[in-house]
């Protein structure tokens, strides 16, 4: 296969029902940009029908490839495996549960084609979350902003990273990574795009 312009890395833990709509919405957005792409689904030890759903998608779409973990290792490990496996000139990282609207990939790719090396999707409106969760997220983002000297309010793992950024992150020796913190820290030309989080 020729090098795809865009890789999409999707960590998935028990997301069987969401994968088909996610892939079809992603492919229609990327095809409208004439983008050659690969979609890597990282199955993080799911116990539902995710294995079957990924097999169906792989046979239907040559762009889709699944990597299966032997057990549940957590989202950060799934993101790290995706970063190792992706070969695109840029890679988009996004959740499988449709809380990261797939239509935003078009604006992300256009921002990258204009010269951005990191495109951060930032939460404008959070989904309906319990007050305590919301408060803890705010406190966490505030402490992280201070530590990283970067504004982490509304930060999400929905991001596009240019190949050069992926290379820099892969050269970091950390084995346990905090993806969104490391991207905020690593530098490069960064842009932000706002989105509302569906419930």
What tokens does 92 get?
A: 């988009």
Alpha helix (H) ranges present in 61-121?
75-85, 104-113
Asked if 91 and 161 touch (Cβ cutoff 8 Å), the reply is yes
76 binding Mg ion? (CB under 5 A): no
Among 97, 122, 137, 163, binds Mg ion (CB under 5 A): 97
Chain centre distance of CA 38: 13
Task: State the sign of the Cα–Cα–Cα–Cα dihedral 4, 8, 11, 17.
Answer: negative
Of Mg ion, ligand UDP, none, which one sits near residue 41, judging by CB under 5 to 8 A according to partner kind? none
Of Mg ion, ligand UDP, none, which one sits near residue 13, judging by CB under 5 to 8 A according to partner kind? ligand UDP
Q: Pick between residue 6 and residue 80 the one whose CB is nearest to ligand UDP.
A: 80
Residue 197 Cβ, how far from Mg ion at the closest point, in Å? 8
CA 56, CA 52: separation in Å to the nearest integer? 6
- The 99-128 site mask, x for binding ligand UDP (CB under 6 A), equals x-----------------------------
Q: Pick between residue 116 and residue 155 the one whose CB is nearest to ligand UDP.
A: 155
Binding residues for ligand UDP, total number by CB under 6 A: 13
78 binding ligand UDP? (CB under 6 A): yes
24 binding ligand UDP? (CB under 6 A): no
Picking from 8, 98, 21, 103, the residue whose alpha carbon sits closest to that of residue 57 is: 21
What tokens does 155 get?
A: 């930060």
Picking from 68, 63, 55, the residue whose alpha carbon sits closest to that of residue 12 is: 68
- Residue 100's SS3 state is coil
Among 57, 64, 96, 155, binds ligand UDP (CB under 6 A): 96
Residues that bind ligand UDP (CB under 6 A): 11-13, 15, 44, 72, 74-75, 78, 95-97, 99
């Amino acid at each position: 296969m020729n090098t795809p312009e865009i890789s999409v890395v999707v960590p998935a833990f028990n997301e069987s029902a969401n994968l088909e709509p996610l892939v079809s919405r992603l492919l229609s957005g990327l095809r409208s940009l004439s983008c050659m792409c690969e979609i890597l689904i990282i199955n993080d030890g799911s116990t539902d029908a995710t294995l079957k759903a990924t097999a169906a998608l792989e046979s239907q779409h040559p762009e889709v490839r699944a990597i299966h973990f032997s057990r549940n290792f957590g989202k950060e490990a799934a993101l790290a495996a995706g970063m190792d496996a992706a070969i695109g000139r840029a890679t988009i990282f996004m959740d499988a549960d449709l809380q990261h609207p797939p239509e935003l990939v078009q604006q992300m790719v256009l921002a990258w084609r204009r010269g951005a090396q990191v495109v951060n999707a930032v939460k404008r409106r959070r989904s309906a979350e319990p007050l305590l969760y919301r408060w803890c997220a705010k406190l966490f983002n505030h402490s992280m902003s201070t530590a990283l000297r970067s504004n982490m309010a509304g930060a999400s793992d929905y991001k596009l990273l240019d190949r050069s950024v992926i290379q820099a992150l892969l050269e970091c020796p950390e084995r346990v990574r905090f993806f969104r913190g490391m991207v905020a820290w690593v530098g490069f030309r960064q842009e932000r795009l706002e989105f509302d989080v569906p419930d």
